[in-house]
A and B are shown apart, each in its own frame.
Chain A
Amino acid sequence: MADRLLTFSVFRYNPITPEIPPRMQEYQLEETMGMSLFIALNRLREEMDPSLMFDFVCRAAICGSCAMLINGRPGLACKTLTQDMPDRITVMPLPVFKLVGDLSVDTGVWFRHLNVRTEAWIHTDKVFNPKSIEARMDNPTAQAIYDAERCIECGCCIGACATANMRADFMGAAFLNRIARFMIDPRDERPTAKYFDVVGTDEGVFGCIGLMACDDLCPMEIPLQGQLAFVRRKMAQMALKCKKSA
């Protein structure tokens, strides 16, 4: 594997200079031991092209800022080792999110919107008493919540989703996963009807066409198929219940 000469084909476009059309630019780099795409892109920027834009923070698959299309598929650049890739590596920014420039997209606004829309906090009338003993939660529930909580808001599931690509207002797996997280949580006292208004729609869970690209490509391997189905079932029950009372 040593001595490989890698060719990087990198998407270039800066919205500030729209007169220069989007293009793919090629760079070549010698592969080094244990090289990740994070290392490669930094070397490209340092050694060849300081104008190259891309995002990184943690370089350890924690912050979710380095998601991009790697050979067409969403993934984390910091988690992708070049040794697992062919000689030619194409990188493009994630679709759906607002393009900041080159490989950098703004996932922040999108996920902020997600957190606001899902009201991603525990809704309860109970007053917190710091002196009382914490209420116990059974292990499976805690585990299920934790599973959903592992989302690092990278946006891979959104970039991978055909529906989200076609319909700007589709919520996508990250959104529905977040909803699932609060629906499981026994401390959250919101009735299902409340969630129904938010996700029981074609922009929500019923817009999902079940292609499972999200499930296949989530870098945290969150079981998104199950999460989506959980929300779907709850929402379907809700719709049927309404029928009876209507």
Chain B
Amino acid sequence: MILQKLLAKSPRLEARLELLELATGLMLFGFLQFHMFAVSSIILGVDAFNRDSARMDEYYLSYIGIPLVILAILVHGLVAMRKAPWKFQEMRVFVQHSRRLAHLDTWAWGVQILTGLIVLVLAATHIWSVLVTWPIEAATSAARIQGGYFSSFVLLILAAEIHAMVGLYRILVKWSWIHRKKFTKYLVYATIGMVGLGFLTLLVFYFRSIPKGLS
């Protein structure tokens, strides 16, 4: 034991950071899937989408939800990053180790770090662009998607869903709430389903011409 480590060590805080990562992770997982279903209401029609959006506005769900989600993303990002291989050497160790090992779960961690970074950047721009064109309406969303954001949404949906599902898998494994080998396939189905739903929503937005004032 060395002095600086002895003094800096705090099991209580380190454990709580872990729990914070867990809690924000689960919360963001829930939010992401909720958000996916909510925007997919465009598949049912413009009115359904606008009604949903207006209702959330009406009950202040958006005004409580959005700041909370932003906060959760920031906290989750920061807490999760503490374990990522930031030093160049660590990164090389990790990549070489994973290549030698050829072990799916080990690679999955690399995927998670990568998708996490993508989500951080794209979600920030996404939230920003939604906020500056507030309120949420089918017309503004369609304008955004038709106006050049399409490919970034494809990437965001993929990155977010993969990050969320792999994250959920790792949470369940770490706390041993599932039988690892048996459960994996359900998560793969769920990922494919949610990504499919996301893409469908995106396509509807892309091809539907929405009358109300395209600003």
**A, B in one complex:** yes
Which residues of A come within 8 Å of B, CB atoms? 69, 72-73, 92, 95, 160, 162-163, 165-166, 196-197, 200-202, 204, 206-213, 215-217, 225-226, 228-230, 232-233, 235-236, 238-240, 242-243, 246
Q: Which of B12, B15, B19, B105 gathers the greatest number of chain A CB atoms within 10 Å?
A: B15
Contacting pair B173 A197 (CB below 8 A): no
State whether A201 touches B102 (Cβ < 8 A). Answer: no
Q: B100 contacts which chain A residues (CB < 8 A)?
A: 69, 72-73, 92
What is the distance, in angstroms, from A217's C-beta to the closest C-beta of chain B? 8
Return chain A residues, CB-CB under 8 Å to B9: 201
Which residues of the other chain, B, contact A235 by a CB distance below 8 angstroms? Answer: 11, 15
Option from A204, A226, A246 in Cβ contact (under 8 Å) with B176: A226
Closest to A225 in B: B176
Contact (Cβ within 8 A) B174 A232: yes
Task: Identify which of residues 159-208 in chain B touch chain A, using a CB-to-CB cut-off of 8 Å.
Answer: 170-171, 173-176, 180
Q: Are B94 and A210 in contact (CB under 8 A)?
A: no
A236-B15 in contact (CB<8A):
yes
> What A residues does B173 contact at CB under 8 A?
210, 212, 225
Per-residue contact bits, chain B 91-119, to A (CB 8 Å; 1 contact, 0 not): 00110011111110110110000000000
Residues in B63-106 with C-beta less than 8 Å from chain A: 82-83, 85, 90, 93-94, 97-103, 105-106
User: Are B11 and A197 neighbours in the complex by a CB distance under 8 Å?
Assistant: yes
CB proximity of B69 to chain A, nearest CB, Å = 24
Q: B83 contacts which chain A residues (CB < 8 A)? A: 163, 202, 207, 209
Complex: A206 Cα to B18 Cα, angstroms: 7
